[in-house]
């Protein structure tokens, strides 16, 4: 049986360690704020004010109207050039990302109701922005045609209207910040707990702990609980910043979000203890913890890169780590608000991760005691 008195004794000892260690306090209080503000403002998927050169070979009212509508949008920053060659030189020198060429017969073709083409050259070296620029041009193309023809005889056989649910403005912050919660919690929890046992091995206090009748499961529980409270506080800080600074909505249940955060915390806290149990050097434990905490949460969680576009092997690797499942829960609760019944798969995966990691941690710690 697990003794609550012994668990509380280990917990109390770990609390004293935390209070005497300013590094732990600073990481728990400052790191979430800094990471949310930096990542939330630095990562932007919406490409705006694209430097765009243009060559107007027509110099007509229609061509000026076309350029005015392109320039009045928030997507393009137009700069005139004298020739196509000069525009290509601007793109080669990375002073422009796009070049628009209006032919000399532009208005004449429009007046005769004939097809009139406008050439758009894009810098393909940055493929992340090329798709966005092409999409912007497609979005405003219909508006430009309607304005030029002034609602005349142009009729499309099929009209498609799109609406964006859950994130109507396609805000990058609404996509990034909920997933950032998983990254901060993963790095913070695994890094702090990775130092706890390795620090005791280096300081020699582990020998005193091994001489006591405390069982491995009691040591693991006593060391996880204080850092779990720190992790919950970090989640609360990220939640406040998301709501106040970035004006994110929260349409789900706080209980569902809190339960998912708790399971995710326990899995990474147990993983940090497992690292500190295997690696008895603090410096090596930090390096292993950063590899296990930072890389999966950044690359294999869907935080930035969509998992659906990855190779099937990478998708299978992503299912092993808890980060993917909590990112799904966090984004869902912030933007959609599904019930826990609809989120049974990520919750089941997180619960399985907690049971597996804590069991491995207890077993490994028991073998260490037998040495």
Instruction: Name the pTM for this structure.
Output: 0.79
Amino acid 155: pLDDT: 47
Sole residue written with tokens 């609406």: 163
d(CA 176, CA 192): 24
Query: First CA to last CA across the chain, in angstroms?
Result: 23
pLDDT for 262: 93
pLDDT over 90, % of the chain: 16
Task: Indicate the helix (H) or strand (E) that contains 65.
Answer: helix 61-72
Give all domains of the chain, ordered by start, each with its CATH number: 4-43+171-370 (no CATH), 50-149 (3.40.1710.10)
Q: Convert the pLDDT of each residue in 118-145 to its tens digit.
A: 888 888 776 667 777 777 777 777 676 6
Has residue 1 got a pLDDT over 70? no
Least confident window among 151-160, 196-205, 362-371: 151-160
Rounded to the nearest angstrom, the gap between the alpha carbon of residue 108 and the centroid of all alpha carbons in its chain is 49
Tell me how long the chain is. 371
Residues 254-293 have pLDDT tens digits of 999 999 999 999 999 888 888 887 887 878 888 888 888 8
> Residue 283 is encoded by which pair of tokens?
């410096």
């Amino acid at each position: 049986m697990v003794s609550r008195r012994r668990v509380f004794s280990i917990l109390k000892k770990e609390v004293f360690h935390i209070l005497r260690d300013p590094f732990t306090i600073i990481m728990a209080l400052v790191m979430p704020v800094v990471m949310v503000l930096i990542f939330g403002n630095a990562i932007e998927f919406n490409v705006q004010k694209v430097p765009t050169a243009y060559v107007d070979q027509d110099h007509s009212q229609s061509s000026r109207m076309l350029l005015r509508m392109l320039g009045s949008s928030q997507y393009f920053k137009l700069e005139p050039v004298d020739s196509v060659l000069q525009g290509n030189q601007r793109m080669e020198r990375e002073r422009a990302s796009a070049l628009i060429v209006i032919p000399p017969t532009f208005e004449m073709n429009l007046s005769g109701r004939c097809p009139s083409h406008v050439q758009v050259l894009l810098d393909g070296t940055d493929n992340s922005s090329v798709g966005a620029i092409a999409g912007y041009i497609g979005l405003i193309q219909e508006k430009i045609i309607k304005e030029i023809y002034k609602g005349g005889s142009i009729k499309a056989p099929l009209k498609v209207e799109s609406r964006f649910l859950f994130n109507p403005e396609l805000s990058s912050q609404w996509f990034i910040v909920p997933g950032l919660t998983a990254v901060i919690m993963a790095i913070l929890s695994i890094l702090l707990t990775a130092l706890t046992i390795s620090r005791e091995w280096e300081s020699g206090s582990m020998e005193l702990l091994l001489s006591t009748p405390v069982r491995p499961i009691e040591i693991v529980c006593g060391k996880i609980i204080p850092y779990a409270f720190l992790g919950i506080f970090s989640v609360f800080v990220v939640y406040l910043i998301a709501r106040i600074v970035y004006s994110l909505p929260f349409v789900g249940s706080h209980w569902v979000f809190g339960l998912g955060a708790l399971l995710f915390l326990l899995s990474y806290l147990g993983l940090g203890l497992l690292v500190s149990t295997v690696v008895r050097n603090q410096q090596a434990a930090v390096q292993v913890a950063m590899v296990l905490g930072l890389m999966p949460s950044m690359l294999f969680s869907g935080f930035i890169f969509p998992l659906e576009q990855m190779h099937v092997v990478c998708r299978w690797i992503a299912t092993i780590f808890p980060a993917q499942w909590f990112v799904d829960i966090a984004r869902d609760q912030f933007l959609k608000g599904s019930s826990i019944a609809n989120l049974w798969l990520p919750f089941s995966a997180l619960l399985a991760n907690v049971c597996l990691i804590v069991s491995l941690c207890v077993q490994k710690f028991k073998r260490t005691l037998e040495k």
